[in-house]
Structure 1
Amino acid sequence: MDHQSPSQKVPSLCSLRYGLCLLLHLCNATMFSQRWCLSLTMVAMVNSSALQGTPNASASEPLDSTKNPVYNWSPQTQGVILSAIMYGIPITLIPMGYISGVYPIKTVTGLGLLLSSLCSLLIPLAAEAGEALIIACRVVQGLSQGTVMVAQYTVWTKWAPPLEQSRLTSVSQSGIILGPCVSLFVTGFISQSLGWPVVFYIFGAGGCALSLLWFVLFYDDPAEHPWISLSEKEFITSSVMQASSSGKSVPIAAILKSLPVWAISVTCFAFSWTNTIMLMYMPTFLKAKLLINVRENGMLSALPHLLSWVLGNLAGWLADFLLARQILSLIAIRKFFTTLGLLLPTLFTVSLLHPGASPLGIITCLTLASATAGFCMAGMMVNPLDIAPRYFGFLKGVTILIGITGGLISSTLTGIILNQDPESSWVEIFLLMAAINVTSLIFYLAFSKAAVQDWAKDQQHVRL
């Protein structure tokens, strides 16, 4: 890719590509709010006797039963309902990575967001009909969200100039972090004042509105957009490598042999392992250490995600700044931010094991451990675009699938460890997390690349 000099640039913050980036950011935030709000509404949805064993089961004020219908779901049923969305996501990841290079991103992403939002609107009715229907609704929601998660990455193969790839990708993807933050922060208040069904109606309606905006405002190719300025169109089309796998066979054999791909994959596994524990079990850790109620729990659990959102966006801007000023090479930038995103959470979580930690120290370390993972937004998360822009969507499908596998294993294993010894088990959980992060980081530093790989270049197409 040829990098443009600053004199060739057009205004960015008021440009169409940044407007679309903000729209995609909001779509991600809404979609992930739809995914995680159930973690807190579950407290209001079940009888108090059924609350034991759920991640967010802590003391709270009595809720109005007329606004908050309750169900006699066992802890096991609650666990299945909470995790059902994760069953649907992996099914779509790799197929959508290929489909996103063949079918219009506008259609694939827009329909995926719309279906996820409709499922959110239907969850209160599904809950009333029985646990089987709400489980099915969550699985379908997972299928639709998996579609959007992968398809959206292909957007930046045509819309992001080389010197803006880190910031555009990190800003749009940081909505994934903002979503849980918003969800954890407002769900308790909405459930208390308006009733838990309203949570799903608000996030569902917001997603439907955003999907309609997406269909109106987004075009797959900037050259086809009716409202883009001529200067921005020329700037993007002249600087972006028109990388598309449309009509091309995906070089599966070469991808499987590629050490840079494996380097990205193992760090995705580690990132998801850490992030899932922080997201799912932070309320449990806070309850055990600080004995706080559900509203305070939700607010404190939201704080790290808000800070992570800030750091993720800053990382993207800083990465592009370092590249534009030629302060660091592209591979050095990717390694630097990946190191921060994996090593800092390790240091802060290990610090939590200090026996004399104060409540303020616990909250600070827990917040920073979760928040500093946002640095990965400018590291290994965007790295597939460097090594294989032609197959960016497919590679993201593969790496996200590996990441989700890490999240599923970590959430299950953490639950097993906590069940055996709730008091001292956090030592094992955090040390295992540290070992996985450090090992993955060493592998990434040794084998990661930032240059387009031979198998991803136009002149080579390896068939199955």
Structure 2
Amino acid sequence: MQSETEEDSDSSPLLVNSGERRELLPPPAKAPRCCSARYNLAMLALFGFLILYALRVNLSVALVDMVEVNSSMAENGSASVCPAHTTSPKIPHNTTGKRYPWDADTQGWILGSFFYGYIITQIPGGYLASRIGGKLLMGFGVLGTAVFTLLTPLAADLGVGYLLAVRALEGLGEGVTFPAMHAMWSSWAPPMERSRLLSLSYAGAQLGTVISLPVSGLICYYMDWTFVFYIFGACGIIWFIFWWWLVSDTPKTHRTISQSEKDYILSSLQNQLSAQKSVPCGAMIMSMPLWAIIVAHFSYNWTFYTLLTLLPTYMKEILRFDTQEEGFLSALPYFGCWLCMILTGQLADYMRERLNFSTVVVRKTFNSIGMIGPAVFLVAAGYTGCNYVLAVTFLTISTTLGGFCLSGYNINHLDIAPSYAGILLGITNTFATIPGMVGPVIAKSLTHGNTVEEWQIVFYIAAAIDLFGAIFFVAFGSGVVQDWAVGGSHSHRH
């Protein structure tokens, strides 16, 4: 449990190493935010994660149209639970997309295959980013994911094994992106602007989901599912060109940054970064604040990935919306989450900077709301029956409240060890990728009949894991730079 001494000291004056000598530093003069290099970086990162998540989730919508409609689907029981959500008759402009005889288990493996590549490059990505810089890894991570997305229709046509391999390779490329971006923010984000900058950039993931789900539904409806992969893959290549031209790894190497902004960023961070080159692996393993992030990250992702990969299926098979409708309605919860992340990022920094709340209090409060709230409304969604409005409302509230977690566990790596933020995110995201690998498989295995009762079990499991993660983070989370992260005998506070 966080001690009162540590909690109170996390807003004390900043300290800096000078050999064995430590001295107080004057507070850095703030630089304007408008049109600044650090906020331009946040916007480019936002679009990068938007594209990454569009590339990740488009298969969830396309898969509905890729699978043959057979007798087993007609007998799965969902028709006897909820009547079809009737709309005015619409005739698709194009139905030329090929369909494949994949059963529910095969679909679960296809949806989870991305994460088998994704998990491999998390820790190596964080380590490499700390050595060669995040720009290179982030850029080529998006580019590689985009190229393999373009190859997805060909792989599906060659066979399910090829599709599994291509999706795993997409995950391999995308796996380095979050650790790479965290490593970049360790050099770019002033402590009192971390919540704002990181919420702005990482909210692109939610925005990508918001855009990808309905747009993919429209593409499938009016064209065919192959264009889902061609269009989003091309967007990834275009983004890479802008990223490569406009971004620098650090403020020192940026070509157009103002001197005042450079001084502001460097002076605000110099007292938190470690000069030691070796990674303190033993101390990391024994660090309970790090384990608090690991457990919270794993728990949150179980719910997030379950809904991310299976919400379109739930919308179609249980709530009985058509492809066009379920694309828009599946996106609604993530629009709420995106908006919540932006607003709570501003609120978190305001509470720390203006209201003098300690970092640990802000992190634990926001994290608890972002995990307990979604658990409650997710369970409630399973008991709405065929009330379409109430079901979509509860799922939207559940996912929206999850946006609080970005200012909770999600940026806590930078609080406890800014020098190793990329590596730490690689570690926690490795554990947090496991739900993406096994969650869809378990959910599909539990919902062979596609009944409301089966989906209630899926929601209960996710809610229970969420609740456990929230409690663990409250018990062991921290808001101060750890001793092992600075190589000294005293913790650095902010």
TM-score, normalization: structure 1?
A: 0.91
Which of these residues, 150, 155, 165, is aligned with residue 179 of structure 2? 150
Q: Is 1:372 matched with 2:401?
A: yes
Higher normalized contact order (CA 8 Å, seq sep 6+, divided by chain length): 2
Q: Read off the aligned partner of 1:23 and give its amino acid letter.
A: L
Show the counterpart of 1:9. 30
Taking structure 1 as reference, are residues 437 and 73 closer, same or farther at Cα in structure 2, changes over 3 Å only? closer
Q: Deviations for 1:34-92, whole angstroms, at most 9, x for unmatched residues?
A: 111011112233333399499x9999966566752334445444433332211100111
Selected match of 1:25 from 46, 52, 55: 46
Counterpart position of 2:21: none
Match for residue 415 of structure 1 among 425, 444, 451: 444
Instruction: Give the CA deviation at 1:457.
Output: 0.9
Deviations 1:94-145 (A, max 9, x none): 1112111111222111111111111112222333333333322211111000
Letter in 1 for 2:34: L
2:434 counterpart letter in structure 1 = T
Q: CA 1:250/1:5 → structure 2, altered by over 3 Å: closer, same or farther?
A: closer
Distance 2:135 2:384 in 1: 52
Pairwise CA distance, 1:149: 2.3
CA distance in 2, matches of 1:71, 1:215: 39
TM alignment of 1:153-164, pairs within 5 A: 153-164=182-193
Distance (Å, rounded) in 1 between the aligned partners of 2:324 and 2:476: 45
2:71 & 2:243 partners in 1: Cα distance? 41
- TM-superposed CA distance for 1:412, in Å, is 2.8
Unaligned runs of 5+ residues in structure 1 are none
User: Secondary structure at 1:37's aligned position in 2?
Assistant: helix
Aligned residue in 2 for 1:40? 61
Once residues 244 and 103 of structure 1 are traced to their aligned partners in structure 2, the CA distance between those partners, rounded to angstroms, is 17
Partner AA of 1:374 in structure 2: G
Q: CA deviation at 1:12?
A: 0.6
Equivalent position amino acid for 2:421 in 1: F
For residues 311 and 427 of structure 2, what CA distance do their matches in structure 1 show?
A: 28
Q: Which residue of 2 is the match for residue 282 of structure 1?
A: 311
2:142 corresponds to: 113
1:68 aligns with: 97
The answer as to whether partners of 1:116 and 1:141 remain within 8 angstroms in 2 is yes
SS at match of 1:214: helix
Structure 1 position 129 matched with structure 2 position 150: no
2:56 is aligned with what amino acid? Answer: R
Cα distance change on mapping 1:359 and 1:111 into 2, 3 Å: closer
Select 2:412's aligned residue among 371, 380, 383: 383
| 1:331 aligns to 2:352 (yes or no) | no
**Range 129-138 or range 212-221, more displaced:** 129-138
In terms of mean alpha carbon deviation, does 6-15 or 397-406 score higher? Answer: 6-15
Q: Is the Cα–Cα contact under 8 Å of residues 102 and 246 in structure 1 kept in the other structure?
A: no
CA distance in 1, matches of 2:156, 2:436: 26
Deviations 1:312-341, CA, capped at 9 Å, x for gaps: 111111111111103411111101110110
Alignment of 1:184 with 2:213, yes or no, is yes
Among 399, 423, 432, the residue aligned to 2:428 = 399
The one-letter code matched in structure 1 to 2:61 is L
Contact kept, 8 Å, 2:300 with 2:469, in 1: the verdict is: no
Q: CA RMSD in A?
A: 2.9
Deviates more, 1:167-176 or 1:376-385: 167-176
Give the 3 Å change call, closer, same or farther, for CA 328–11 of structure 1 in structure 2: same
Separation of aligned partners in 2, 1:75 and 1:288:
12
TM score, norm. by length of structure 2: 0.86
Which residue does the alignment assign to 1:249? 278
Kept in 2, the 8 Å contact 1:50–1:73? The answer is: no
Counterpart AA for 1:44: D
Query: 2:112: which partner in 1?
Result: 83
- Which range moved further: 344-353 or 397-406? 344-353
- In structure 1, what is the equivalent of residue 460 of structure 2? 431
Q: Which residue type is aligned with residue 162 of structure 1? A: P
Cα pair 1:84 1:139 within 8 Å, conserved: yes
Asked if 1:344 is matched to 2:373, the reply is yes
Superposed CA offset, 1:395-433 (max 9, x none)? 101111111113333333322332378332333333333
Question: Is contact 1:102–1:247 with CA below 8 Å preserved after alignment?
Answer: no
SS of match in other structure, 2:278: coil
In the alignment of these two chains, the number of paired residues is 459
CA distance in 1, matches of 2:192, 2:156: 48
Q: Percent identity?
A: 36
Q: 1:253: how far off?
A: 1.4
Farther off after superposition, 11-20 or 190-199: 190-199
1:448 positional shift: 0.7
Q: How many angstroms apart in 1 are the aligned matches of 2:107 and 2:447?
A: 17
What residue number does 1:49 align with?
70
Matching residue of 1:300: 329
Q: Secondary structure at the match of 1:254?
A: helix
Contact kept, 8 Å, 1:102 with 1:245, in 2: the verdict is no
1:272 corresponds to 2:301: yes
| AA aligned opposite 1:27 | G
Deviation string 1:224-265 (CA, Å, 9 cap, x unpaired) is 111111211111111123766797222121111111111111
SS in 2 for 1:280: helix
Q: How far does the alpha carbon of each residue in 1:341-366 deviate from its partner, in whole angstroms, 9 at most, with x for none?
A: 00111221232344678432222111
Q: Give the corresponding residue for 1:453.
A: 482
Structure 2: stretches of 5+ with no match in the other structure = 1-12, 16-24, 490-494
Question: Compared with structure 1, are the counterparts of its residues 49 and 447 closer, same or farther at alpha carbon in structure 2 (3 Å cutoff)?
Answer: same
State yes or no: 1:360 paired with 2:389.
Answer: yes
Tell me how far apart the structure 1 counterparts of residues 381 and 462 of structure 2 sit (CA, whole Å).
13
CA distance in 2, matches of 1:128, 1:75: 18
